[in-house]
Copies of this chain bind each other. A is one copy, B any other.
Amino acid sequence: MKKLALILTMIVFQGCTSVDPLPSWNDTAAKHTILDFVHAVTDPASTSYVAPDQRIATFDNDGTLWCEKPNYPQVVFVVARLRALAQETLDLRAEQPYKAAWDKDYAYFRNLNTRALLTIVLQAHTGMSQDEFSEQARAFLGTARHPRFGKPYTQTVYQPMLELIEYLSANEFKVYICTAGGMGFVRTFSQQAYGIPPENVIGSSAELEFQMHHGQPVLIRKPALVEPMNNREGKPVNIRLHIGRRPILAVGNSTGDLAMLQFAKSPHRPSLRLLLHHDDDKREYAYDQGARKAQQVAKERGWTIVSMKEDFKTVFAFEARE
């Protein structure tokens, strides 16, 4: 009986092979590289075959899965929180980062590095329970809109990447997000926006403290980062701590992803490294800032550079749904 169900399932899958799994990708070299790689590692007859339990894929989030311009969505979220705090306590409006938040001076935040931004996130939500933080994040994402596209941030996600995640999952890959952004923040929308469950999200995080409040267990956010912060060399470290294995496929867009891309390599095993290039100011944004080193290494090593302009037929999920 189990065998019959399996055969039927196989027929269903076989029947699907003629359907293009990546319709929002143009018919370019990048798409063929992806298809060839997935065929090779899933074909038991191939010398490149990789057993399902070893098919780990890791994706950066900001600028790789969703739009990070003109501001990281989490920065917009934290600015709202800082403004609420400055609303309650007038004196705060004279100090940074409250002043910049109060003045909606986003340039102030754009000039900070990742650690400085995460330190502000810690400061803004410290002492709050992790459950309350998640609720506030969900409320923000439910109402906030991207300033240029007028859509919820959870719809300014890249349709070709959604298709890639689905294609990999259908081919028994375990797909993870590995973001320098807040792990708790991304976990509030990863299932809905990407079909990736919260336990498959690795990110930066506040330290948490276990407390009992009136007999109820709660985890309180502390004003310190879990180390290593999940950026640059911290990404492979945290991938190992969370997953215990090395990815065979990694996708990023900036120099913060370089170590993760390098890490997706084992001797005697194929690997695929994709670096998304933001070169499409008509449909999205064109920028190389923070990505030049990664682009240079990608060229030297022959990694696959994905051009948004050339390789994406559709850019955003909201376009695909319209």
Residue positions of A touching B, CB distance < 8 A: 1-2, 4-5, 8-9, 11-12, 15, 53, 130, 174, 183-184, 187, 191, 197-199, 201, 205, 207-210, 212, 216-217, 219, 226-227, 233-234, 236-237, 240-245, 259, 262-263, 265, 267
Contacts and interface: CB of A to CB of B under 8 A. Distances in A.
A210 B233 contact: yes
B187 A244 contact: yes
Q: Which of A15, A53, A130, A199 has the most CB of B within 10 A?
A: A199
A244 B183 contact: yes
A-B complex: 9 closest residue pairs judged by Cβ atoms: A198-B244, A210-B233, A5-B8, A199-B243, A187-B244, A217-B263, A208-B237, A210-B236, A1-B12
B242 A199 contact: yes
A247 to B, nearest CB: 11
B237 A219 contact: yes
A209 B243 CA distance: 16
Contacts of A262: 212, 217
A265 B217 contact: yes
Contacts of A130: 240
A11 B244 CA distance: 36
Contacts of A198: 243-245
Nearest to A174: B199
A224 to B, nearest CB: 10
Contacts of A263: 210, 217
23 contacts: A1-B8, A1-B11, A1-B12, A1-B15, A2-B12, A4-B8, A5-B8, A8-B8, A53-B191, A53-B197, A130-B240, A183-B244, A198-B244, A198-B245, A208-B241, A209-B233, A210-B234, A210-B259, A210-B263, A216-B267, A217-B262, A219-B237, A219-B240
Contacts of A226: 241
Q: How many copies does the complex hold?
A: 2
Contacts of A174: 199
A244 B185 CA distance: 11
A184 B244 contact: yes
B8 A12 contact: no
Nearest to A228: B207
Q: Which of A197, A217, A259 has the most CB of B within 10 A?
A: A217
A207 B244 CA distance: 13
Contacts of A4: 8
Contacts of A240: 130, 208, 219
Nearest to A241: B205
A191 B52 CA distance: 14
A228 B199 CA distance: 19
Given A53-B197, A184-B244, A217-B259, 12 more contacts: A1-B8, A5-B8, A130-B240, A198-B243, A198-B245, A199-B242, A199-B245, A201-B244, A210-B236, A212-B262, A219-B237, A242-B242
